[in-house]
Amino acid sequence: MSVPVINHPRRKGIAVILTTLSMFVIVPMVGLGIDVSTLYIVRAKLYEAADAAALAGARALSQGSDSNTQKANAQTVATRYFNANFPASFWGATNITLSTPTIDDATVPNYRTVSITASVQAPLYFLRILGQTTSTIAVSTQAARRDALVMLVLDRSSSMNYAFQGSTACAILKPDAVQFLNNFAPGRDMVGLVVFGSTAYVAAPRLNFDQPDANGNTVASLINQISCGGNTNTTEAMQQAYAQVQAINSTSRANVIVLMTDGRPNGFTGNYTNLRTSPGSCDPGNAPLIGTLAQWAGGPNPTGTTAGLMNYSTNSITNANEGPTAYSGGCNFAGDLTKARNDLSGMPPADIYGNATAGPYSTYNPNFPYNGAYANLTGVSSPQMIEVASTNVLDNEGTKIRTDATLKPAIYTIALEGNSPGDPPDTLILRKLANDPSMENDPDATARTFYQQQKAQPQGYFADAPDPSQLFAAFNTIATQIVIRLSR
């Protein structure tokens, strides 16, 4: 049975009519979409170029021996970066205009801004039927550079003599640390230096850090004189750096401590006057017995060689001065530092700066060698216990620095890995010292806990250098984080 076909003569051509009518809506919408997309792409690229120019200009404020030279360098570099990041005729843009970058160094003390204003004519396509062929896009952005007081703290312990690619980590460190100084402006920024093993050498911060001091040394020349050897008394170095920040006492500068280390802290400075096992023979004069107790061999293991009590300061960049501490006459360790265990009954509950040795860092951290436990303060013969105590005092020193509500110091840290496979840097303590915001969402629950405890404190940044060849990049990352801020 066939189905009859019914014709509707009056409906023929309706599709053509509807399509024609809808084109009056669809075509303008498509055309307008193309124009809007073009404007969006050009605007995004213009902002990208302006931001790059502002940031580069702010970084260039460190180049030059005086303020006028630094400003001129900033303007030149900013212009170059803008031109490099917004090529001519990008998506048909014309009349690309960059106003002369503006440098403001007078409005706020120790604070400079680089302001960028740019505009282009972006092409229009659909709107040309209305007589409009281009649209003006203008953007403004600004990068700020706060003058800084920077204390550069460098580890020169014996593990820094690790051989790497025909050189040593110690040798590679020097030029990389020197180039780090190029990120700061003589006459505006202040830079000082602490170099540490068991002892700490201190060069006070100064504005003319690129000029020879009374002894003929610049900060760069001091770095180039570093010789590596000894233990890792990290807390002593951090305390000395903090003391220099306190001495300058500037609230208008960015107060910054930058720590580079290749291992866990394995020694600290304590007062052992009341912990002598034989007070009559070990310093019969009962003078204060203060020095560095450290582990020499055994890494984080329970048994091994420990040593002390050593000096904790030196006046020479080349002489670590790690001999027996003052007032050690009659002590066994005066003739053999490894015999400190024969003179001392234990470790003090705090170092000489008031930082607790028994916790809390080790009690929160389940990772070896901490294992969620307090340090055994009788363990002067245990490299592991000395390392645990040394890490606790470093953690507490960091808390003391970050909670300075007046100076608001920020800590930045670099872990140089690969030098000590058996006792590598504790990257968690370095991230905690820096109060690195990446800890907030870390897969490790311990890192998240630490961050929640201190998230309101000044935030720094942690940079990892998997081997010495990557120190250069780590220093550059830290330098950019310290002083440059982008705003719109």
Q: Domain holding 364: CATH number?
A: 3.40.50.410
Backbone phi and psi for residue 205, each to the nearest 5 degrees, phi listed first: -70, 145
Digit-coded pLDDT (tens) for 432-488: 999 999 999 999 999 999 999 999 999 999 999 999 999 999 999 999 888 776 666
Which whole number is the average pLDDT over 226-235?
94
Inside any domain, residue 338: no
Inside any domain, residue 305: no
Inside any domain, residue 37: yes
In this predicted structure, what is the pLDDT of residue 12? 56
Domain that holds residue 233: 148-266+352-483
Digit-coded pLDDT (tens) for 87-108: 988 888 899 999 999 999 888 8
Q: Which residue has the higher pLDDT, 27 or 292?
A: 292
In this predicted structure, what is the pLDDT of residue 144? 87
pTM: 0.85
Are both 77 and 117 inside the same structural domain?
Answer: yes
With pLDDT > 90 as the criterion, what percentage of the chain qualifies?
67
Are both 228 and 366 inside the same structural domain?
Answer: yes
In this predicted structure, what is the pLDDT of residue 26? 47
SS3 (DSSP) at 273:
helix
Are both 132 and 181 inside the same structural domain?
Answer: no
Inside any domain, residue 384: yes
55-64, 214-223, 386-395: the lowest-pLDDT one: 55-64
Digit-coded pLDDT (tens) for 282-336: 876 668 899 999 998 777 888 899 998 999 999 999 989 999 999 888 899 999 9
Are both 40 and 155 inside the same structural domain?
Answer: no
Q: Total domain count for the chain?
A: 2
The 8 Å CB, 24+ separation contacts for 352-355 are 352/269, 352/270, 352/271, 352/290, 353/235, 353/239, 353/269, 353/393, 353/397, 353/400, 354/400, 355/235, 355/268, 355/392, 355/393, 355/394, 355/396, 355/397, 355/400
Inside any domain, residue 67: yes
Digit-coded pLDDT (tens) for 272-281: 999 988 766 7
Residue 27 has pLDDT above 50, yes or no: no
CB 156 within 8 A of CB 237: no
Are both 142 and 194 inside the same structural domain?
Answer: no
In this predicted structure, what is the pLDDT of residue 292? 97
Asked whether the bond before 394 is cis by omega within 30 degrees of 0, the reply is no
Which whole number is the average pLDDT over 139-153?
93
> For residue 455, how many other CB atoms are within 10 A of its CB?
12
* Final residue belonging to a domain, choices 113, 146, 179: 146
Are both 386 and 468 inside the same structural domain?
Answer: yes
Digit-coded pLDDT (tens) for 404-414: 999 999 999 99
What is the overall mean pLDDT for the chain? 89
pLDDT band at 379 (very low <50, low <70, confident <90, very high): confident
In this predicted structure, what is the pLDDT of residue 33? 59
Are both 254 and 367 inside the same structural domain?
Answer: yes
Are both 250 and 399 inside the same structural domain?
Answer: yes
Are both 383 and 254 inside the same structural domain?
Answer: yes
Name which of 189, 181, 178, 101 is nearest 145 in CA terms: 189
In this predicted structure, what is the pLDDT of residue 35? 66
Are both 233 and 123 inside the same structural domain?
Answer: no
Cα 288 to Cα 351, 380, 439, distances in angstroms: 14, 19, 41
Give the span between the Cα atoms of 128 and 149, in whole angstroms: 56
With pLDDT > 70 as the criterion, what percentage of the chain qualifies?
90
Residue 127 has pLDDT above 70, yes or no: no
pLDDT band at 118 (very low <50, low <70, confident <90, very high): very high
Inside any domain, residue 68: yes
* Final residue belonging to a domain, choices 125, 146, 167: 146
The separation between the first and the last C-alpha atoms of the chain, rounded to the nearest angstrom, is 77
Inside any domain, residue 281: no
Residue 346 has pLDDT above 90, yes or no: yes
CB 344 within 8 A of CB 277: yes
Residue 194 has pLDDT above 80, yes or no: yes
Specify the amino acid at residue 432.
K
Are both 256 and 369 inside the same structural domain?
Answer: yes
* Final residue belonging to a domain, choices 96, 129, 146: 146
Are both 76 and 214 inside the same structural domain?
Answer: no
Quote the tokens at residue 148: 């800084």
Inside any domain, residue 7: no
